[in-house]
Amino acid sequence: MAPPNAQARRPTLYDVAKLAGVSPSLVSLVLQNPDKVSEKRRAAVRSAIAELGYRPSRAATALASNRTKSIGLVIDDYRNLWFVDLLRGMESALTEHGYQVMLADSRPGENRIREAADGLLAMHVDGLVIAAEPAGTVLTGTGVPTLVAGWRNGVPAEVDLITNDDDAGGALAAEHLLGLGHTKIGHLTGAGGAAAHRRAGFEARARDSGADLRIAGDSGGTSEEDGYASACWLLDHHPETTAIFAANDTMALGAFGAIKARGRAVPADISVIGYDNSVLAKSRYLELTSVDNRSDLVGVEVAKVLLERIAGPSVSPQRRLIDPSLVVRGTTSRPAR
């Protein structure tokens, strides 16, 4: 009798073939190209797989097909909630094709991002997505289909780019505040490509209307602490400000702290808009007005384009913009008279 803690032998492809009454090569074909096998034989193989609890070896599949069925994703800050929906969108489109996403987080800086990308490439991913700053030379010499998610600095014209239309999103935020009657407006921004596009759209629309616009943080980061520091500067130097647009929801959270620390309230004294429509914005406690950049749809489109690129490397470079929308909640109102 085997010891009580002994594990049962894992079923193999040969066990499946024996139970299904087919050859091992046909089982392999069902796993890799089921459409090439008759329905009757597919059903027999799948029934045997279910009965035995067989799980195909990804390593063996990779050796047989010369593909790992994995996609590498490089991000530069796991605290940025934008990546949550991006990843969810990618996985929703990739899973049905048998792909998994391998994530690598890096600190900002071209060398750091290159190291993260090289680590994923060493695992023989079939494709690579760069969602980090700066993209630059990280996009060259990867040897696999590589594209960029979200606006990034230094993206060559020959590289696929899938992003939210952040210029339009910034304009939506400005139109909302202007429509409420705000004319003394502050904007908390950062140094990245996405922040630059959001700033450009917001600034163009606000200045066209003649609004008194103040911008803070254009050379810094976009974390909660960055938002707090920029909002502190803004409110100390321009206390007449009645509305703030933050480059993302996390920065907006920092603005809340700065406003509270000065004995003021949202939205009674100052209206606040974020960007990303993240879980923070949706929380019943904050109820933050935010621009929805549909990062889940960005993720879906990223996956689609990457699969197209894997299937046909000669496909022309693509630029796809996802339209944003504004979700109005409880943090914006007309300015106090």
Structural domains present in the chain: 13-65 (1.10.260.40), 70-164+295-323 (3.40.50.2300), 166-293 (3.40.50.2300)
Apex CA 165: angle with CA 232 and CA 321, to 5°?
155
Supply the pLDDT for residue 165. 97
Supply the pLDDT for residue 264. 97
Q: Residue 131: count other Cβ atoms within 10 Å of its Cβ.
A: 29
Supply the pLDDT for residue 91. 95
The whole-chain average pLDDT of the chain stands at 89
Supply the pLDDT for residue 62. 52
Quick check: pTM over 0.85? Answer: no
Cis peptide bond upstream of 56, omega within 30: no
Mean pLDDT per block of 10 residues along the chain (337 residues) reads: 53 90 88 83 92 74 65 85 90 91 78 87 91 74 89 84 96 98 97 93 96 94 95 97 97 98 97 96 95 96 93 82 97 92
Supply the pLDDT for residue 139. 80
Supply the pLDDT for residue 8. 61
Supply the pLDDT for residue 242. 98
236-241: long-range pairs with CB below 8 Å, 24+: 238/184, 238/186, 238/214, 240/184, 241/184, 241/185, 241/186, 241/214, 241/270
